Amino acid sequence: MANPQLHPLEINPRTGEPFLRLKDRKDIIITPPRRDDVALYVPIMNDPRIYEWLGSPPFPYTKEHAEEWYAKIKQSSDAILAELEAARESPELVLVGESPIRVIRQVKEDGEDVYVGDIGIIRCVEGKLLAPLASPVDDEHQANYVEANAALAVGDPNIIWTFGYYVVPSYHGKGIMTDVVRSLLWEWAVPRMGVRTIVGTAFEGNEGSVKVFQKNGFVKTKFIKNHIQMRGQWRNLQVLELLAQVG
């Protein structure tokens, strides 16, 4: 019998993987990472339609970067699935600190699926984003905000979270990320991780990403000038926030 602690994830009878089907786009699912995905990371991360808008991945992006990234996300997903397995007999659904699913795939008519993108939801680790409005943002205060957010226990409603995501360019503008954010947030992050406050960020000019957040109820809170330098160019950052209302 499937582990009831995976709720509301379903199990794919073909691959044995847990997955979440999107609320509206029923042909799109979110699954754990797979070994076969790794070969796709390099061309995706070296595509300017992707890397121009992402602050974290290295550039140029190599096979070694792809292997490191896969090892990291696979380990996280496996750890959460193991935690859920260990809690199989618990009468209540347990809260966990991450999502075991993150890879966005389109299921074709023959049942095969194709890689469409990725979404991660993690604890925010940037002091400037964690700083309450009109609070000091010197290095010492930033370090304190980060330390405090990291110290909160799994499931604590005061944890501040953030999303990182992309859709491969051939799938842009089809409503996929709007639905992915909505589905992952309300089906997994809120009920199974206790997520309440989420900070969304987009470099100035990333209208698609700002719209994805706004269509999910996020509101603009801060605009940070010269947030980071990428390939010699300073980038400004639009910050948005959602307070998930539950009950």
**Prior bond of 60 cis (ω within 30°):** yes
DSSP of 123-160, one letter per residue?
E---HHHHSPTTS--SHHHHHHHHHHHHHSPTT-TT-E
State the minimum distance, in angstroms, from the CB of residue 240 to ligand COA. Answer: 10
**What is the distance between the alpha carbons of residues 20 and 11, in angstroms, rounded to a whole number?**
9
Going by C-alpha positions, the residue among 205, 195, 206, 210 that lies closest to residue 240 is: 210
Which of positions 85-144 make contact with ligand COA (CB under 6 A)?
none
Given 3-state DSSP classes, what are the helix, strand and coil percentages for the chain, each rounded to the nearest 5? 35, 25, 40
For ligand COA (CB under 6 A), the number of binding residues is 21
Among 211, 223, 236, 243, binds ligand COA (CB under 6 A): 211
If one asks whether residue 178 binds ligand COA (CB under 6 A), the answer comes out as yes
* Smallest gap from residue 24 Cβ to ligand COA (A): 10
Residue 21 interacting with ligand COA (CB under 6 A): no
Instruction: Select from 235, 191, 190 the least CA-distant residue to 217.
Output: 190
Shortest distance (Å) from residue 237 CB to ligand COA: 9
CB of 57 to ligand COA, least distance (A): 10
Tell me which of 108, 153, 207, 234 binds ligand COA, using CB under 6 A. 207
Q: How far is the CB of 112 from ligand COA (least distance, A)?
A: 21
Q: Return the range that interacts with ligand COA (CB under 6 A); candidates 59-67, 132-140, 188-196, 205-213.
A: 205-213
* C-alpha dist (Å) from residue 126 to 73, 147, 191, 238: 20, 10, 25, 14
How far apart are the C-alpha atoms of 202 and 240, rounded to whole Å? 9
Taking CB atoms, the residue at the shortest distance from ligand COA is: 208
Among 167, 189, 240, 242, interactor with ligand COA by CB under 6 A: 167
- Distance of alpha carbon 128 from alpha carbon 146, whole angstroms: 9
Report 33-52 residues binding ligand COA (CB under 6 A): 50
What are the residues binding ligand COA (CB under 6 A)? 50, 53-54, 165-167, 172-178, 201-202, 206-209, 211-212
